[in-house]
Amino acid sequence: MTLHFAPDAASLPVVSPSRLDRYVATRSFDRPTLVMDLDLVEAQYRALRRGLGRADIHYAVKANPARQVIARLVDLGSHFDAASKAEIALCLEEGAAPSDVSFGNTIKRASDIAWAWDQGITLFAADAEEELHKIAENAPGASVYIRLIVEVSPGDWPLSRKFGCDRDTALRLLDMANGLGLNPVGFSFHVGSQTRRADMWIPTLDIMAAVWAAAIDAGHDLTLLNIGGGFPAFHGEEIDTPTHYASKVMKLVEARFPNVPRIMAEPGRGMVAEAGVIVAEVMLVSRKSDRDLHRWVYLDIGRFSGLAETEGEAIRYAFETARDSEAMGPCILAGPSCDSADVLYEKRPVQLPLSLTSGDRVLIRNTGAYTSTYASVCFNGFPPLDVVVI
């Protein structure tokens, strides 16, 4: 097997998940399809579980909400981070206990808060005064944690600016929560998705520890630290094994938060990305002129049908074809829609076979996270990404 990344990515050898390969090789697909291997999801869960030690795993459902994935994780004892009423309902339907589900989105409809409370959900996230008022009115007495902003993220897919609040606001929100009859239990943060090395967490952890200390000094009895996600998948640059990575992160956390009764972690990408492969097809290979330095290769999947994380060329997927033993050359990779933004990789072209032609199958590796959930319903009439779970 040969994997093809942009020239600046390290082409490290990766062993193909053989069960996935056998399944894909013996079947035809009439539309872009994500194939997920539940056994690989379980292996990742167990590996992260070993590394995270006493931290509770709250799987980030948004990464891949396939019902079979949730069911397997329930069986393994996972907890869940849900971002919506629908995600909460899914987890509960698959057997998760309400006490194992947190409503982790800081932007919630009041009626959804009330519904979640009625279902037995007792743990909610907030980062604004109005959100605390909504929780107090619709989930009286609920436990809340305040999300802190990470202004400089080391992740390949940062989550800064939109979520969280600064130190002074966070301390004020703890006081307000008390005044509203809520139970403010601690803080959360997210270092940024696809944070490739554990030592990248250090600056963020130092900042968070200072806020935690300020809250303790102000008289707050904090019992929960939610360290969020950031656990990486392999996308061309070398990363630690899940157990080693998680273990190193926990050592950094414990050194700064030695007496926290409860720690939560919310792996999403690191749990499911490497358990999936997308089967796609070449729709067209062309050049715009005789002066073009690179070919354009158009796939039947693009930004609007599952590959949204190619925005800014942030996540570098790996591509595999049956022609990989032939001569290679750089190309600009794009999706099929009639939208000029539907270009996947142009600044850093991808190496693909020069003989590639329409109808050829392309496998996109390690795509089990943030693909099916990003697919549009039917933009330009193209079908959304299909999902098969084995």
**Residues with active-site annotation:** 338
Q: How far is CA 158 from the centre of its chain?
A: 11
Give dist(CA 88, CA 61) in Å, integer: 9
Q: How far is CA 322 from CA 2, 6, 35, 177, in A?
A: 10, 19, 18, 58
Token pair in block for residue 346 = 């142009």
Strands 262-265 and 276-286: unpaired
Give dist(CA 72, CA 64) in Å, integer: 13
Total residue length of the chain? 390
Question: Residue 36: which of 277, 292, 225 has the closest Cα?
Answer: 277
DSSP 384: P
Q: How far is CA 131 from the centre of its chain?
A: 24
Question: Residue 134: which of 118, 113, 165 has the closest Cα?
Answer: 113
Please report, as a single letter, which amino acid is at residue 182: L
Positive/negative CA dihedral, 10, 13, 16, 17: negative
Token pair in block for residue 199 = 């030592």
Give dist(CA 351, CA 316) in Å, integer: 12
Q: How far is CA 7 from CA 4, 106, 319, in A?
A: 9, 39, 13
Token pair in block for residue 294 = 């690179």
On whether the CB atoms of residues 132 and 173 are closer than 8 A, the answer is yes
Question: Residue 346: which of 329, 336, 333 has the closest Cα?
Answer: 333
Token pair in block for residue 79 = 């907890």
